[in-house]
Structure 1
Amino acid sequence: MKIIDKYILRKYLTTFAVMLMLFAPIGIVIDVSEKINKMIENKIPLVDILIYYFNFTIYFTNLLFPIFLFLSVIWFTSKLANDTEIIAILSSGISFTRFLRPFIIGASIISVFILLMGFFVVPKASEGFNNFRYTYLRGDGKQAMRGDNTDVYRQVSNDEYIYVNSFDVVSKTAYNFSYEKFKKDKLEYKITASRIQWNPKTKNYTMYDYVKRTVGELDDKIEKADKKDAKFNFDLEDLTPVVYIAETLNLGKLNQFIEKEKKRGSSNINVYMVVLYKKYSIPVSAFILTIIAVAVSSMKRRGGMGLSLAIGIAVAFSFVFFDKIFGTLAEKSSFPPLLAVWFPNIVFGILAIFLLRNAKR
């Protein structure tokens, strides 16, 4: 690697890191200003708040990664152009394609980093982020995910159905639980409980205010107990809301979860597929946005860096807009998830090729 490659690569990585360190505190300050009243009202422990904002930083930077990357490349490439460094480099006989090589190396490093983060780190951060949000900010500080939008009704097999009103991921407890077992399209028995808690050590569930109604030909048999342990043919993840659980699973568990949901014929399979495909599409966008940023900002403009940054902000937000619109379209309709997730990369990839050809001229 030549000196010029090391110089550009160092600028690429350091500017991206500085951009993250600049915008992450801004995101935290905005989030604190919105939630400070709720935090004080619920008397949230300081340790929980610090852990939340650690997870929030990872979640926030992963969400807006394309904008940070694009702006950082626009920034330092425009500075190189305004200082006539790019003109000097190209005048020395280096082609524009050769000049682009350290940018591609930098994009490769960041892509691998983002890919591994998306596979293993971001899901854990997303779990902590959502745990805090649903427990303290949407709930009453004691029970997570209570409310009108928390009802979960699932078919766990051909003849088994479960329902919970809400689920606390911290204590692994579901509220207003019901379980229905059918036999040849007829209800065999139904179990209800005010709450049901998962026991990690014994790998079973404890039900409170347990009631079991077994349907008979002439009359029903009712069994009651204040507390009862039992094993069921469903996983803990089946009790959690759709999008929430998809975001909190690492790559291996997410693939297993999707396969299981496909066999069950889940109507929400598109939601899971969007989460899976984005793990691969977001790192690829690093290459596309890097090429666009270099092509846009490598020319010395009369408007200086301000014009290049304005163009960069417009392009970056357009990319995020397309990403969100088509992601939501796939989740809420029959639009193919694979096409929806990759459509922004396809459109902006074509734009990158066009701008690159013009930049070479």
Structure 2
Amino acid sequence: MKILDWYILKRYLFTFFMMLLLFIPIGITVHLAEKIGKILENEVPFESVMLYLLDFTIYFAHLLFPLFLFLSVIWFTSKLANNTEIIAFLSSGVSFTRFLKPYLIGAFIVAVLALVLGLYLAPKASQGFNDFSYKYLKKGRKISEDQNVFRQINDNDFIYVSSFSLKNKQGSNFALEHIKDNKLAFKINASSIKFIEKDSTYQLTNYTKRTIGEFDDIIETAPKKDTLFTFDIEDLTPVIYIAETLSYGDLKDFIAKEEKRGSSNIGRYQLVLYRKWSLPVSVFILTIIAVAVSSVKRRGGMGVNLAVGICIAMVFVFFDKIFGVMAEQSDFSPLVAVWFPNVIFGILAAYLLQKAKR
């Protein structure tokens, strides 16, 4: 029986990694062909391009992990079914549940790999991929420009800007309120705020500071004023992809800080956090579905199994994207959005498994 386990496990892992190795160069070639004009135009160093392609490989391999796994399992299981090997296994007295064991062992190995990628490697790759894209491939586009930003910076300070561009490091209609003992202590207003990267200061235009006194207020004005603040430029308006670039621990701390500040992007950040755990679980679910669908020898052969598998995979991706957008754009729970596809397809996996056993 151990021979059967090793036979299936080796085919499981070999087919999965071969599919990755086959599709990744195709993805790199297509992507490079699309971007080569801008890379040459901006005279990007060769080393930077190589690092970018490495980040691209890790970034998209992690995103497409479930799809590659699903298709690879259907592929080699369909070959087993067409060669009547599965019939021979089950006719020897092996139960379908026992036949599934090496698949689950393989799914565990791939799930651990997906978890390590999601927690540690994918965030670094995402950082490099997005930084390169905005530096060389998306010149002139806005990295982030938030409208009507209102945030709590710490226990006492609240800031507001009507708009802020991270590319220009400049915002308009800036206001800062300092609250002490539940009372307004002072308020700063400026028509614009600009971050001076050279000395890490902020330049305020049409500066006004109103300090609230017991009987009279003290008003200070200046056409321009350079000053220091306790917040960082990223704290004012984080880039849209910042959650993807943080490791699990850093992401949890970042979300806690953003919740305290009343960020409107909490749903987006929580989606990234929850997906780090949902992806490994989906590996098991999709493996069971793939085996149940492709273990039966069909009249149309492997092509029918692949067609059915691709349809199921597309529906899974559709559900994942739809619920993800709902969580980002509304008050829909990110936890439900991430786990709902797994729950639905988990039920489907249980049904198909019972049907395959019969």
TM-score w.r.t. length of structure 2: 0.87
Distance 2:36 2:186 in 1: 49
Residues 156 and 234, structure 1, Cα contact 8 Å, conserved in 2 = no
**C-alpha deviations, 1:305-329, integer Å up to 9, x for none?**
1111111111111111110110111
Larger displacement relative to structure 2 (120-129 or 178-187): 178-187
Which residue of structure 2 aligns with residue 344 of structure 1? 341
Q: One-letter code of the match for 1:306? A: G
* C-alpha deviation, 1:197, in angstroms: 2.5
Out of 332, 349, 354, the position equivalent to 2:351 is 354
Distance 1:246 1:178 in 2: 27
* C-alpha deviation, 1:22, in angstroms: 1.1
| 2:311 is aligned with 1:314 | yes
| 2:123 is aligned with 1:155 | no
Distance 1:197 1:213 in 2: 23
Which residue of structure 2 aligns with residue 111 of structure 1? 111
Q: Is the alpha carbon distance of 1:19 and 1:317 closer, same or farther for their aligned partners in structure 2, counting shifts above 3 Å?
A: same
Residues 146 and 237, structure 2, Cα contact 8 Å, conserved in 1 = no
Which residue of structure 2 aligns with residue 180 of structure 1? 175
- State, as a whole percentage, how many aligned pairs show the same letter: 54
Q: Is the alpha carbon distance of 1:14 and 1:213 closer, same or farther for their aligned partners in structure 2, counting shifts above 3 Å?
A: same
Residues 319 and 341, structure 2, Cα contact 8 Å, conserved in 1 = yes
Q: Is the alpha carbon distance of 1:70 and 1:224 closer, same or farther for their aligned partners in structure 2, counting shifts above 3 Å?
A: same
Out of 284, 290, 295, the position equivalent to 2:287 is 290
Out of 260, 263, 282, the position equivalent to 1:263 is 260
- SS in structure 1 at match of 2:240: helix
Q: Is the alpha carbon distance of 1:162 and 1:38 closer, same or farther for their aligned partners in structure 2, counting shifts above 3 Å?
A: farther
Which residue of structure 1 aligns with residue 28 of structure 2? 28
Q: Is the alpha carbon distance of 1:94 and 1:309 closer, same or farther for their aligned partners in structure 2, counting shifts above 3 Å?
A: same
Distance 1:239 1:182 in 2: 15
Residues 195 and 209, structure 1, Cα contact 8 Å, conserved in 2 = no
Which residue of structure 1 aligns with residue 142 of structure 2? 146
Q: Is the alpha carbon distance of 1:120 and 1:237 closer, same or farther for their aligned partners in structure 2, counting shifts above 3 Å?
A: farther
Which residue of structure 2 aligns with residue 127 of structure 1? 127
* C-alpha deviation, 1:53, in angstroms: 1.1
Distance 2:37 2:224 in 1: 43
Q: One-letter code of the match for 1:166? A: S
Which residue of structure 2 aligns with residue 202 of structure 1? none
Q: Is the alpha carbon distance of 1:312 and 1:326 closer, same or farther for their aligned partners in structure 2, counting shifts above 3 Å?
A: same
Question: Aligned ranges for residues 42-121 of structure 1 at < 5 Å?
Answer: 42-121=42-121
Q: Is the alpha carbon distance of 1:104 and 1:155 closer, same or farther for their aligned partners in structure 2, counting shifts above 3 Å?
A: same
Larger displacement relative to structure 2 (59-68 or 26-35): 26-35
Residues 126 and 248, structure 1, Cα contact 8 Å, conserved in 2 = yes
Residues 193 and 211, structure 1, Cα contact 8 Å, conserved in 2 = no
**C-alpha deviations, 1:182-217, integer Å up to 9, x for none?**
144586224655433388xxxxx2446887542475
Q: Is the alpha carbon distance of 1:235 and 1:308 closer, same or farther for their aligned partners in structure 2, counting shifts above 3 Å?
A: same
**C-alpha deviations, 1:106-138, integer Å up to 9, x for none?**
101111110111011111111111111112122
Q: Is the alpha carbon distance of 1:159 and 1:240 closer, same or farther for their aligned partners in structure 2, counting shifts above 3 Å?
A: closer
Q: Is the alpha carbon distance of 1:125 and 1:272 closer, same or farther for their aligned partners in structure 2, counting shifts above 3 Å?
A: same
